[in-house]
Structure 1
Amino acid sequence: MSLSYAVLGAGAMGFRFGVLLQETAGVQVDFVDNWAPQVETIQQQGGVYVSRDHENRHLVPINIYSPEDYHGHPDVLIVFAKQMTLADLLARSEHFFDPKHQYVFTGMNGMGHVEKINQYFPKEHVVAGTCLIGTVLNRAGDVDFIGKAGAGSINLAPQVGPADATVQALVADFEAAGIQSNLNDNFLGTLMTKVVFNSVINTICTLFEIQMGQFIDYDGAEKLGKQLINEAFDVAERAGIELLSTRQEEWDTIQYVSAVTSPLHYPSMYQDMSKDRPTEVDYINGYIYDLGKQYNYEASTHDFLRNLVHLAENTRKYRK
């Protein structure tokens, strides 16, 4: 089965997936973004500049549109918006949605995005994944893929039911693009496992303005990480969510990705903070804390870190 794609949210990860699908898998990909400087810059320069680990910067021609200017009919929408901008992007894109036939894959960080997507698409057509892949948007129209070709992986699952022919074809295209894909049927567990990962690495690296490799080099990293992991697993158990890993396996993943796969990577939360954009901490550490409260459990370390990130955001106004 041959599929065509449109990437909604042409940021760092949107470019990574879309460019690899276009260049390596050889499938049709369009890009749609609601950040005007991104669209205008890429249209003016004739494509997006792509580097890998800060080297071999080259221009990749792509088709990019604002939501209002796009009128394509892709088989699959790949959604990589920020949590705070997703509702606006979906509302502005609704005119080209075909919920009876189109499928949606989303690999966004945090929790809350699937509910917004379900306002437009049935659960039977939604697939969600979690990405252990480092990518940096340097500026409008300029992206850096972190890690060697084929580095990193994704876990993904249909929201309901078994993987049908379209989902199988989607996974095959990802694999052809060099995106290692692990398909399973544990939807909530898939999403929550990545939230736990991000609650450690994204938040700590952001607060201390460090790369993942610099975090894992600290001899107390494991103690810090496991405190957050244990609280998050306690919450998941009370909520009846079965994660894809054990507590130790979750730490092993953080350690491996930080030391081996993406040591030079600044997580996306840091990228937002450094560019004076709102962070997604409320959808990550905040989500864990708020979910725990529903079961009379205080994930207090996650709440403490959430407030530290908001404190850091608030102090930016004093630097100007």
Structure 2
Amino acid sequence: MKTIAIAGAGAMGGRIGTQIQEAGYDVTLLDYWKEHVEKINRDGIEIQTETDTYHLDIKAKFPEEVNEQYDLIIILTKAMKSKEMIEVLNQRGAIKSDTAILTMMNGLGHDETFATVVPKSQIFLAVTMWTAGMRGPGQLLLEGDGTIELQRVDGVADERTETINQIFNDAKLNSHVSDNVFQSVWSKATLNSVLNPLCTILDKRIGEFAQYEQSREMITPIIEEIVAVADAKGIELNFDDLVKKVEGSYPDELQGLHYPSMHQDLHSGRYTEIDYLNGKIAQYGKEVGVATPTNALLTHMIHQLEMKYVEA
């Protein structure tokens, strides 16, 4: 894979793209943020780590400027912008018949969205535990460690899967090929479907939420509904494991001191990804005949808050 595009060059897209570039691959960052794209092309991208600050030259374009084809496109937009992104890239001729389209966005249903544009044989799902931050246009904050797991969405093994995995490992992203990526996707979506809406509605950091003695009673019905929906869709999740995953994030040295991304989006005046988390659980519940009143209520509550914080 000689040409790689990162579609959605925010914090996580910046991390993935710059590490792949530093591994010697040809990477282009694609984004709609005008100041970000212009600064990268003018000054390079500034990377701050725990020990160093340096600049990296890397190509950046607006999606409508794309005039080449890519072997691998990694989509890391906000979930609600992903369909627009893949459609624009398809219209611009960026997607070949063998281009691998990979996403490690949070939430559920991205494979279904992409399948309206390209065959499932071209779609790859990944789950990442890496984190990243932005300090401003063209400025990345990269701290901590992480992992990636990936699989072709239809479960079929092919040479591209191993090639992508090798690219990630060349970039020191600690990647491995999964034999059940959907289980991992749903597990991470459960974590986000619990902590994102609850901390956003309550205006609390994760650790502050955890200080409530009856917090487990609050998270239990959310997780129970997700497990039931997943089971109806043939995805095996373990309730106790998911509770441990959520509660394992509470300590300050892990995520306890942080507001979840949904809280950050809302209080920055941006729409949230609720429809791809609790909203998607509620949608799937209707489709498979499983009641999801808690997840549906949380979805409505976040949309109510969007009416307050997001300008029309």
TM bin (shorter chain): 0.7 to 0.9
Query: Which region of structure 1 is more displaced relative to structure 2, 251-260 or 90-99?
Result: 251-260
The partner residue of 1:40 within 38, 41, 65 is: 38
Deviations 1:40-93 (A, max 9, x none): 23223x22233347x745433221001122334332111011122222222322
SS of corresponding position for 1:134? coil
Structure 2 gaps, min length 5: none
Deviations 1:132-180 (A, max 9, x none): 33323343323323x42xx232332211243212211211222232323
RMSD: 2.7
Does the alignment pair 1:203 with 2:201?
Answer: no
Q: What is the deviation of 1:12?
A: 1.7
Code of the aligned partner of 1:67:
P
Code of the aligned partner of 1:133:
W
Question: Matches of 1:181 and 1:311 in 2, distance apart?
Answer: 39
Does the alignment pair 1:91 with 2:87?
Answer: yes
Does the alignment pair 1:183 with 2:177?
Answer: yes
| Residue 263 to residue 311, structure 1, CA distance change in 2 (3 Å) | same
Q: What is the deviation of 1:127?
A: 0.7
Does the alignment pair 1:144 with 2:144?
Answer: no
Structure 1 gaps, min length 5: none
The partner residue of 1:224 within 218, 223, 227 is: 218
Does the alignment pair 1:104 with 2:101?
Answer: yes
Contact 1:239–1:295 under 8 Å retained in 2? yes
Contact 2:12–2:76 under 8 Å retained in 1? yes
Question: Matches of 1:106 and 1:36 in 2, distance apart?
Answer: 23
Contact 1:134–1:267 under 8 Å retained in 2? no
Q: What is the deviation of 1:30?
A: 1.1
SS of corresponding position for 1:242? coil
Does the alignment pair 1:63 with 2:59?
Answer: yes
Q: TM-score, normalised by structure 1?
A: 0.85
Query: Which region of structure 1 is more displaced relative to structure 2, 27-36 or 279-288?
Result: 27-36
Question: Matches of 1:59 and 1:194 in 2, distance apart?
Answer: 32
| Residue 192 to residue 219, structure 1, CA distance change in 2 (3 Å) | same
Name the counterpart of 1:301: 294
| Residue 215 to residue 75, structure 1, CA distance change in 2 (3 Å) | farther
Alignment size in residue pairs: 310
Q: What is the deviation of 1:31?
A: 0.5
Q: TM-score, normalised by structure 2?
A: 0.87
Contact 1:155–1:183 under 8 Å retained in 2? yes
Does the alignment pair 1:274 with 2:267?
Answer: yes
Question: Matches of 2:305 and 2:201 in 1, distance apart?
Answer: 7
Q: What is the deviation of 1:276?
A: 0.7
| Residue 221 to residue 72, structure 1, CA distance change in 2 (3 Å) | farther
Contact 1:156–1:190 under 8 Å retained in 2? no
Question: Matches of 1:40 and 1:214 in 2, distance apart?
Answer: 39
Q: Kindly, what percent of the aligned residue pairs are identical?
A: 28
Name the counterpart of 1:31: 29
Does the alignment pair 1:248 with 2:240?
Answer: yes
Deviations 1:222-263 (A, max 9, x none): 4433332122101211232224xx222223233344535444
Code of the aligned partner of 2:244:
D
Q: What is the deviation of 1:313?
A: 1.4
| Residue 50 to residue 201, structure 1, CA distance change in 2 (3 Å) | farther
Question: Matches of 2:56 and 2:101 in 1, distance apart?
Answer: 25
Question: Matches of 2:103 and 2:268 in 1, distance apart?
Answer: 24
Query: Which region of structure 1 is more displaced relative to structure 2, 260-269 or 65-74?
Result: 260-269
Code of the aligned partner of 1:34:
Y
